[in-house]
């Protein structure tokens, strides 16, 4: 049976066609008990004849929930974001929840617009990789009972759940690894220290130096933009001069990639440990040694936490830190050239 495009039959249409009340149709559609077999059969026939399917948006409006989670990433096209998102999706699936997904593109303004758009749709919960540093705009939503969990970076200026990587610990371990292999001049190439993860990783680097009794030398540290040209210039600075770096610790994936692309130009490539893993890292020569994060764990635990909050957990905001894993593959185990 064909109806004109755009015209969907409703429960009312089914009720009329079957010659029953609206509520009886609702009972059949939702498999509620207490409908005579014959009545149910007529209703089902009408449903099939009209091609009826329940409008879940209307249903959920009446029920006062949306069975929907908002997932706000930095950039869905980025492997870290998408793997994290995949883990959130898997947990959400087990809870019969659909997912609104959006990317902030690292723009606080867009983060806010999207987060509030999700809330305006009345998502039951929000999992957010924040970009901005002031999340007071979410206070009314939190007060209204929306569950919000921050991932990868903590919330700014509000108290909220956060699931984070042990950034400082990871950077400390990666730097210590280079020190253990004989390096004393270790360069750090990182994000802007205004970014939470950037600052934490720099802190870990400094801690490792201090642990080993090495002094912190600002000339070995470059933080800023992560495009190829900027990183290449910073690299030249760190490995040039009278007392150059013999090893590098790179503070994130984009920087690691830029360094890898710039390394072939150098006569004496430094040892290298990168923060965060890359898909083909083991196939490079030498293999790329990294401090690996756990994006799956971040997403899974954040999603589990947001559902726990939705289930009524009213404990004070939690901060969970996931450990990193050092994966030695060759690039981080080279001895310093000057040490030979």
Residues that bind a second copy (CB under 8 A): 2-3, 5-8, 51, 53-58, 60-61, 66, 71, 75-79, 81-83, 85-87, 89, 93, 98-103, 116-122, 140, 143-145, 257, 260-261, 278-285
Radius of gyration over every alpha carbon of the chain, rounded to an integer in angstroms = 27
> Is residue 36 involved in binding DNA (CB under 7 A)?
yes
Q: Considering beta carbons, is residue 8 or 319 the nearer one to DNA?
A: 8
Contact between 242 and DNA per CB under 7 A: no
Does position 6 bind DNA by CB under 7 A?
Answer: no
Among 16, 26, 182, 318, binds DNA (CB under 7 A): 26
Q: How far apart are CA 244 and CA 193, in angstroms?
A: 23
**Are residues 294 and 288 in contact, defined by beta-carbon separation less than 8 angstroms?**
no
Q: Is 35 in the site for DNA (CB under 7 A)?
A: yes
Q: H/E element holding 102? A: strand 98-103
Residue 3, binding choice from DNA, a second copy, none, Cβ under 5 to 8 Å by partner class = a second copy
Secondary structure (3-state) at 329: coil
Residues facing residue 291 across a β-bridge: 275, 326
Q: Name the 3-class secondary structure at 198.
A: helix
Candidate segments 29-37, 188-196, 232-240, 273-281, binder of DNA by CB under 7 A: 29-37
Among positions 1, 2, 30, 311, the unique one binding DNA when judged by CB under 7 A: 30
Query: Which residues face 147 on adjacent strands?
Result: 125
Residue closer to DNA, measured from CB, 62 or 215: 62
Cβ pair 93, 151 in contact under 8 A: no
CA distances from 96 to 46, 146, 213 (A): 28, 18, 54
Q: Which does 137 bind (CB under 5 to 8 A by kind): DNA, a second copy, none?
A: none
Question: Is 123 a binder of DNA (CB under 7 A)?
Answer: no
Closest CB 129 distance from a second copy, rounded Å: 14
Least distance to a second copy, CB of residue 37, Å: 26
Q: Which of 5, 31, 34, 267 forms a contact with DNA (CB under 7 A)?
A: 34
Q: Which is nearer to DNA, 36 or 280 (CB)?
A: 36
* Rounded least distance, CB 95 to DNA, Å: 18
DSSP secondary structure string for all residues of 253-290: HHHHHHHHHHGGG-SSPPEEEEES--TTGGGSSSBPEE
Q: Does 283 sit near DNA (CB under 7 A)? A: no
**SS3 label, residue 35:** coil
Q: What is residue 195's DSSP assignment?
A: S
- Indicate whether 51 belongs to the interface with DNA (CB under 7 A): no
| Residue 61 makes contact with DNA by CB under 7 A | yes
CA 21 – CA 38 distance, rounded (Å): 14
Among 41, 49, 55, 136, binds DNA (CB under 7 A): 55
Alpha helices in the chain (DSSP H): 11-18, 22-29, 37-50, 56-63, 79-94, 108-120, 139-143, 167-180, 196-211, 228-239, 253-262, 295-310
Interaction site with DNA (CB under 7 A): 8, 10-12, 20-24, 26-27, 29-30, 33-36, 38-40, 52-55, 58-59, 61-64
């Amino acid at each position: 049976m064909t109806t004109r495009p755009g015209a969907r039959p409703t429960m009312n249409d089914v009720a009329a066609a079957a010659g029953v009340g609206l509520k009886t149709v609702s009972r059949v559609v939702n498999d509620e008990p207490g409908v005579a077999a014959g009545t149910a059969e007529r209703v089902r026939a009408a449903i099939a004849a009209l091609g009826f399917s329940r409008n879940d948006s209307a249903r959920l409006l009446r029920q006062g929930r949306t069975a929907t989670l908002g997932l706000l990433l930095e950039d869905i096209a980025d492997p870290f974001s998408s793997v994290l998102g995949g883990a959130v999706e898997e947990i959400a699936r087990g809870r019969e929840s659909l997912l609104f997904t959006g990317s902030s593109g690292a723009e606080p303004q867009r983060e806010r617009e999207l987060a509030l758009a999700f809330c305006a749709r009345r998502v039951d919960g929000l999992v957010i990789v924040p970009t901005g540093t002031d999340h007071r705009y979410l206070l009314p939503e939190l007060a209204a009972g929306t569950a919000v969990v921050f991932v990868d970076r903590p919330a700014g200026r509000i108290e909220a759940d956060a699931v984070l990587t042990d950034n400082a610990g990871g950077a400390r371990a990666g730097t210590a690894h280079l020190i253990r292999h004989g390096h004393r001049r270790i360069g750090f190439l990182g994000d802007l220290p205004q970014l939470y993860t950037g600052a934490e990783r720099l802190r870990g680097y400094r801690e490792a130096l201090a642990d080993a009794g090495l002094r912190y030398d600002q000339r070995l540290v470059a933080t800023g933009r992560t495009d190829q040209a900027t990183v290449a210039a910073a690299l030249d600075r760190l490995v040039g001069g009278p007392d150059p770096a013999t090893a590098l610790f790179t503070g994130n994936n984009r920087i690691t990639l830029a360094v890898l692309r710039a390394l072939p130009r150098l006569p004496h490539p430094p040892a290298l440990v990168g923060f965060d893993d890359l898909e083909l890292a083991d196939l490079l020569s030498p293999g790329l040694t990294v401090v690996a994060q756990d994006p799956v764990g971040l997403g899974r635990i954040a999603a589990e936490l947001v559902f726990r909050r939705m289930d009524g957990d009213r404990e004070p905001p939690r901060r969970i830190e996931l450990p990193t894993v050092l994966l030695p593959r060759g690039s981080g185990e080279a001895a310093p050239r000057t040490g030979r």
